[in-house]
Amino acid sequence: MKTLLPYVSTPEDLRALPAELLPGLAGEIRAFLIDKVSARGGHLGSNLGIVELTIALHRVFDSPADVIVFDTGHQAYVHKILTGRRDAFDALRCRGGLSGYPSRQESAHDHMDSSHASTALSYADGMAKARHLAGDGARAVVAVVGDGALTGGVAWEALNNLGAAGHRPVIVVLNDNGRSYAPTHGGCADHLGRMRASPGVAVFENLGLRYLGPVDGHDIPALERAMRAARELRAPVVIHCVTRKGRGYEPAERDLDEHLHAIPVTDPATGRPLTPSPKTWTHAFAEHLCALGERRPDLVAITAAMPGPTGLAAFGRRFPERMFDVGIAEQQALASAAGMAMSGLHPVVAIYATFLNRAFDQVLMDIALHRLPVTLVLDRAGITGPDGPSHHGMWDLAALALVPGMRVAAPRDVVRLCELLEEAVEHDGPTALRFPKSPASVEIPPAGSVGDVDVLSSSGQDVLLVAIGPMAEPCLSAGAMLSAAGVGLTVVDPRWVIPVSRDLRRVVAGGRLVVTVEDGLAASGAGALVRQACGPGQRVVNLGLPCEFIGQGSRSELLAEAGLTGQGIAYAIRKELDRWPL
């Protein structure tokens, strides 16, 4: 049979196809996704489940004149294929290549870049308001959201507004597969489950929105009928589409542990990684938290819908009554942690560093204001790699530096991770630990110490190099290069990087040139606090990431571009010494 996919590059091409050819096209798209995503890595399960739904969207709505926004965005691969970007999948999530999320720089069909969850309904609400004011209410605004997105509070804030604005129609396409990263929990998930089994009055109708469904999300004619009906209603409406995550790919359909939600380079025949997964920082954290849980019955764990990726799944299996998945709701995670801490528990909240941004107020006003013993474990801190600007965890040190009473640790290796986790859960106030998305580093034992500050190497006191967490390894490399060239240099690791400790103040006071290195913002992170702690006239150089949105690429590529390699650090120090010799 003649293949169809090479001839479908635009929504116009798709609309020209006879309906009877669409199931074949859906099969070709799935085969394409399995082939390309297996070769490069990326989000697979979520995109396999939305093939027919996306086909129907682009046949009924006229993108980009009709706005289609995808919540989270990792479910937009099929949308990219159907809007002229099929050939770019060979460079999926590579530096300078195709983004794994919607990107306004790539296409007029993409209307937002952010890939944090639960926000698409608010974007759609704002767009509909703007179109109404401009007298352009004839065009549709469509928000594609997963059931997991409805565990986030901001989604309900938007629904509250949408339901009260019958004259501003927004079509909410609810892609309900019962999962986000993990099975969806909570009252909304239970309600949708009841609606799938026995349709009745939907909660959305009580909020003022019309409800259509449930619709089989893999039945293109049924989807098209529902979408056309929704458009004709000229009112806010929810189309409840029931889909199966991983549809059409047996390894993904039976993947209850979400290994095929986002995959590395994989054997497409089996769905298994081509190379064994190395032990990561997350694995080390998971193991030690379970050990702590055995000794500390007051220890509880909280995840925002990602027990597996943050390492809390093992704790949940060991202590099911002491692990809480609050859904994609970081604010709820931290505010509820405050309540637990007020009641005698010690919560450990494990989230991606980038998602801490969403709950800064809770860190500041609910946890720190009350000086509560809550430990934040920030996975994927610093440069994360191919997920791009919305996922780099590079803002956490700058944000936490503003929080009174907050102590932040940045372990340089997994041995220190375990030590610092022990210290954190013993502390009587708020703490945070941050570590990167990368294989677990080799142990870097200290050569000595000054109180809590580890001395990693020393060939003199001309330059004091303060390494923040995983930057210890490149700092040691830079130190070796400079020492070989006759520069007297000492490398230290503060371990606890916020606030600047008395021990670190003593250490930096003896440095003629103090250089800090971190994989956070150079201008406003831990290094900036060290600069403030130095004496008048003392020379300080802060190395780190620029205050800008950094694109996708491998972690090693992006760190090298920022000068955060041994060679880059040595070059920056040599340049400073050439300008102002000691």
Strand, helix or coil for residue 183 = strand
Pick the closest to residue 243 from 184, 304, 306 (CA basis).
Answer: 184
441 assigned to a ligand binding site: no
- 3-state SS, one letter per residue, for 460-505: CCCEEEEECHHHHHHHHHHHHHHHHCCCCEEEEECCEEECCCHHHH
The number of beta carbons lying within 10 Å of the beta carbon of residue 561 is: 17
288 assigned to a ligand binding site: no
Catalytic residue among 40, 80, 358, 495: 358
Strand, helix or coil for residue 310 = coil
Residue 454 structure tokens: 């580890």
149 assigned to a ligand binding site: yes
206 assigned to a ligand binding site: no
165 assigned to a ligand binding site: no
66 assigned to a ligand binding site: no
58 assigned to a ligand binding site: no
Active site residue 557: no
Active site residue 52: no
Is residue 212 a contact partner of residue 226, using CB atoms and an 8 Å limit?
yes
Is residue 388 a contact partner of residue 116, using CB atoms and an 8 Å limit?
no
Chain centroid, CA 549 distance in Å: 14
Residue 318 structure tokens: 């060991």
361 assigned to a ligand binding site: no
User: Is the CA virtual torsion 575, 576, 581, 582 positive or negative?
Assistant: negative
Active site residue 422: no
115 assigned to a ligand binding site: yes
Q: What is the DSSP string of 246-308?
A: TTT-HHHHT-TT-TTTEESSEETTTTEESSPPPPBHHHHHHHHHHHHHHH-TTEEEEESS-TT
205 assigned to a ligand binding site: no
Pick the closest to residue 285 from 308, 318, 262, 310 (CA basis).
Answer: 310
Catalytic residue among 93, 210, 245, 322: 245
Question: What letter does residue 7 receive in the DSSP assignment?
Answer: G
Catalytic residue among 330, 407, 473, 495: 330
CA separation for the pair 404, 397 (Å, rounded): 13
Instruction: Specify binding-site residues.
Output: 74, 115-117, 147-149, 177, 249, 330
**Residues identified as active-site:** 245, 330, 358
Q: Which residues define the annotated binding site for Mg(2+)? A: 147, 177
Annotated binding site for thiamine diphosphate: 74, 115-117, 148-149, 177, 249, 330
